[in-house]
A and B are shown apart, each in its own frame.
Chain A
């Protein structure tokens, strides 16, 4: 690389210094949203047993509460649900949820290891989970497949819940039931 004259060299050096400063400022950007990066819900997708497991189905309506706090519903009356987000108990190594499909009710027991995670100075800590076991009653739920072991702040689906086709399910538009 050759420099044709001193002014060209000075410009190049100025650009070098400036580009470094710009990169440095860019690297310092911290546009995190605490609610998003500390979210750690267990994500459950609903599927039909006799269809492929790449296409969600729609549950017409349901309500969810935990066995530990039965008087405090997680969701009271959700309609048209394809994905359910359930909050795992950060104070215990397991919890259980009752999913009331209105005509039938199933209980889901989940056990896990907990890992305290420092997210950032501003957002503080959250809890990540490693699933160690999932069991359920089979009143309406046919089976459950674990697709992701680690429950962190990503938007991954962790469990596939297979339910029978009651004849009401149509091709769904994915809909999220968030807490």
Chain B
């Protein structure tokens, strides 16, 4: 009897698809700020299940870095967006119909302004070298792919993490200074990056 009811619910889930909207916040920025208070990242996300197991996703965030040390000062601020899709590869069970294991693809764009008004590069032989880098703008485009999990902890409240590998497609050529961090992409200096994100989500109950 229980098995038959379970199967019926499964079939209902498969056939009576209703779109859902979920908003989220990346809390890994708070964790990073705990370790490195000078760097602030805030990111929110919006995903819509437009087709069974297919999610359209928009992620947007802010970057703010303000470093003041004895040997250097560095400031950067900017924003970024990522758009793409998730695909759920986890079968929907009656006990946890909203849990997801997701494959993700994204396109990302980031813009920031940064400057280093005071830099001292210590050198044991030549002596300390003092310099500065004037304010300049920087832009980057990239694609990314990853895998992630979302699980419903309580009614419409989800947690999840995802691991993303990123490939830089285009960026500002020969900037006077490479940015310390490209918002939404990760540490600058290479064409690739790997980042882990940890999210909390709320699914807006439409049904």
Q: How many of chain B's residues have a CB under 8 angstroms from any CB in A?
A: 46
Residue on B with the closest CB to A68? B126
Is chain A's interface secondary structure helix, strand, loop, or mixed overall?
mixed
Q: Count A-B contacts at CB 8 Å.
A: 109
Q: Are the CB atoms of B69 and A124 closer together than 8 Å?
A: yes
Residue on A with the closest CB to B149? A16
User: Which one, A24, A74, A89, contacts B198 given CB within 8 A?
Assistant: A24
Does chain A have a CB within 8 A of B169?
A: no
- Docked pose: A118 CA to B149 CA in angstroms: 34
Q: Are the CB atoms of B95 and A72 closer together than 8 Å?
A: no
Return chain B residues, CB-CB under 8 Å to A24.
28, 31, 161, 196, 198
Given contacts A1-B91, A1-B93, A118-B74, contact A28 B126 (CB under 8 A): no
B14-22, B34-42, B47-55, B137-145 - interface stretch? B34-42
Give chain B nearest CB distance to A154 CB in angstroms.
Answer: 12
Return chain B residues, CB-CB under 8 Å to A87.
123-126
- Docked pose: A74 CA to B177 CA in angstroms: 29
Does chain B have a CB within 8 A of A6?
A: yes
24 example contacts (A-B, Cβ-Cβ < 8 A) are as follows A1-B91, A3-B95, A9-B96, A13-B151, A13-B153, A19-B161, A20-B149, A20-B161, A24-B161, A24-B196, A27-B196, A69-B125, A69-B126, A72-B125, A90-B121, A90-B129, A91-B129, A118-B179, A120-B180, A121-B69, A124-B71, A124-B121, A125-B71, A126-B121
What is the interface of chain B, defined by CB distance below 8 A to chain A? 28, 31-32, 34-36, 38-39, 67, 69, 71-72, 74, 90-91, 93, 95-96, 99, 116, 119-121, 123-126, 129, 131, 133, 149, 151, 153, 159-161, 163, 176-180, 189, 195-196, 198
